[in-house]
């Protein structure tokens, strides 16, 4: 039995830092556990030009002590100026662009309604090798919320890869076996998977009472989809890697008549993942999923530093929340015990 494991420091290829007061609460957590991270641009207003990206990065940097390397993104919509995008990418002020279908999720009102309107931008991204990150959900109000990911793939993703075969794409926070299959079978596309979509399914959210802290988008799916995600994540397949999609909202906005979507999981994500990989007898692939695969796909240097995980005799007691002034962020908790702990 393995009870100690040393791996390269993880990368978080999808994280929401928000802004202002929340930064001081959230950024230090990612800084503790990760080397590279890709920072989502869905602020109000969203990050849509080089100047905004630089200023946002500077606000984030004030809270970094250990050496976290944030990689910035633009929020892709009709407002993007192609010249500014190319400059920002060449100057390394942005790393990728994020596509949100209009109305898909938190702060996506400025998202894209009609894909054809951004074809010129996609074409320039393809030419300049700039990655496209996609929130893959069809927001047509007639589509059932549990079918939105599959519908997006069928209606839009096939079209995007046909039009732009050399565009590097990451399908973010995938939740279905349909997405696993699509990413496996097509070229130039990878996917991020979150800890909570590996650890939880819709029964965890809805049976025996509704648990607002498990509500996120794309919504948790049924168990067979969860199993497909676990299988591919623990397989070592190079096209799948960690993006926590850690998305903090104050407790008042989660426990609400109309609660916000988003799970805050930065604090315990690596330990939860280690537990899942251990259960699958796949600890040897943990480093691939949390660190190597993303570095490979994005041509980043492999992290030189390492972390060590220890298997304890008793389950870990994670903190329940983070607090500052009157903000409370409830920390994600799976419904199984976690025995692995990061060595301090």
Q: Does 42 bind ligand NCD (CB under 6 A)?
A: yes
Question: Based on C-alpha coordinates, what's the Rg of the chain?
Answer: 19
Site map (CB under 6 A) of ligand NCD, residues 119-138, x = contact: ----------------x---
* 216 neighbors 196 (Cβ within 8 angstroms): yes
Q: How many Cβ atoms sit within 10 Å of the Cβ of residue 342?
A: 15
Alpha helices in the chain (DSSP H): 21-33, 50-61, 82-90, 119-128, 148-152, 158-163, 177-185, 195-199, 202-206, 223-233, 251-254, 269-279, 286-287, 293-297
Nearer to ligand NCD, 106 or 226 (CB): 106
Nearest to 22 by CA among 333, 236, 331, 324: 324
Q: Which helix (H) or strand (E) holds 169?
A: strand 169-171
Residue 216 interface partner, choices Zn ion, ligand NCD, none, CB cut-off 5-8 Å depending on type: ligand NCD
Please tell me what DSSP assigns to residue 118. G
Min separation Cβ 291 and ligand NCD, Å: 22
Segment lying near ligand NCD (by CB under 6 A), choices 69-77, 105-113, 176-184, 250-258:
105-113
Q: Does 262 bind ligand NCD (CB under 6 A)?
A: yes
Q: Residue 127 — φ and ψ, nearest 5°?
A: -65, -35
Q: Does 137 bind Zn ion (CB under 5 A)?
A: no
Q: Return the residue of 39, 174, 216, 329 that touches ligand NCD, per CB under 6 A.
A: 216
Nearer to ligand NCD, 107 or 285 (CB): 107
Segment lying near ligand NCD (by CB under 6 A), choices 31-39, 103-111, 146-154, 328-336:
103-111
Candidate list 245, 250, 257, 278, residue with the active-site label: 245
Residue 180 interface partner, choices Zn ion, ligand NCD, none, CB cut-off 5-8 Å depending on type: none
Token pair 């075969």 is found at 165
- Strand, helix or coil at 342? strand
Nearer to ligand NCD, 107 or 282 (CB): 107
Q: Return the residue of 245, 271, 278, 287 that touches ligand NCD, per CB under 6 A.
A: 245
Nearer to ligand NCD, 214 or 283 (CB): 214
Q: Return the residue of 153, 193, 220, 247 that touches ligand NCD, per CB under 6 A.
A: 247
Residues within window 1-30 making contact with ligand NCD, judged by CB under 6 A: 16
Please tell me what DSSP assigns to residue 335. S
* 199 neighbors 250 (Cβ within 8 angstroms): no
Distances (CA, A) of 322 to 248, 326, 328: 10, 11, 6
Q: Does 217 bind ligand NCD (CB under 6 A)?
A: yes
Q: Does 245 bind Zn ion (CB under 5 A)?
A: yes
Binding-residue total with Zn ion (CB under 5 A): 1
Residue 131 interface partner, choices Zn ion, ligand NCD, none, CB cut-off 5-8 Å depending on type: none
Half-sphere exposure of 286 (CA within 13 A, CB side): 29
N- to C-terminal Cα separation, the chain: 22
Q: 245 catalytic, yes or no?
A: yes
Contacting residues toward ligand NCD, per CB under 6 A: 16, 42, 105-107, 135, 216-217, 245, 247, 261-262
- Kindly list the catalytic residues: 245
């Amino acid at each position: 039995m393995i009870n100690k494991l040393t791996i390269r420091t993880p990368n978080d290829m999808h994280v929401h830092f928000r802004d202002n007061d929340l930064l001081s609460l959230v950024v230090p957590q990612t800084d503790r556990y990760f080397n590279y991270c890709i920072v989502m641009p869905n602020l109000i207003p969203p990050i849509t030009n080089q100047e905004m990206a630089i200023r946002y990065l500077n606000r984030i940097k004030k809270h970094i002590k250990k050496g976290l390397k944030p990689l910035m993104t633009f929020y892709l919509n009709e407002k993007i100026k192609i010249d500014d995008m190319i400059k920002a990418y060449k100057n390394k002020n942005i790393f990728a662009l994020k596509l949100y279908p209009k109305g898909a999720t938190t702060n996506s009102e400025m998202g894209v309604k009609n894909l054809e309107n951004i074809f010129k931008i996609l074409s320039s991204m393809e030419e300049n090798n700039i990655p496209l990150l996609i929130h893959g959900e069809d927001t047509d109000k007639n589509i059932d919320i549990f079918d939105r990911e599959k519908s997006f793939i069928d209606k839009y993703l096939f079209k995007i890869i046909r039009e732009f075969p050399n565009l590097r794409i990451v399908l973010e926070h995938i939740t279905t076996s349909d997405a696993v299959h699509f990413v496996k079978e097509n070229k130039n596309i990878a996917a991020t998977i979150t800890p909570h979509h590996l650890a939880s399914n819709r029964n965890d959210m809805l049976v025996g009472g509704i648990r607002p802290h498990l509500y996120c988008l794309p919504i948790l799916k049924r168990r067979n989809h969860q199993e497909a995600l676990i299988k591919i994540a623990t397989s070592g397949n190079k096209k799948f890697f960690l993006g926590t999609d850690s998305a903090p909202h104050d407790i008042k906005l989660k426990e609400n008549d109309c609660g916000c979507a988003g799970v805050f999981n930065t604090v315990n994500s690596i330990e939860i993942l280690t537990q899942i990989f251990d259960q699958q007898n796949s600890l040897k692939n943990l480093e691939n999923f949390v660190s190597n695969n993303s570095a490979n796909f994005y041509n980043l240097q492999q992290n030189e530093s390492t972390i060590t995980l220890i298997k304890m005799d008793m389950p870990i007691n994670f903190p329940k929340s983070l607090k500052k002034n009157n903000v409370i962020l409830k920390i994600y908790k799976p419904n199984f015990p976690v025995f692995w702990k990061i060595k301090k």
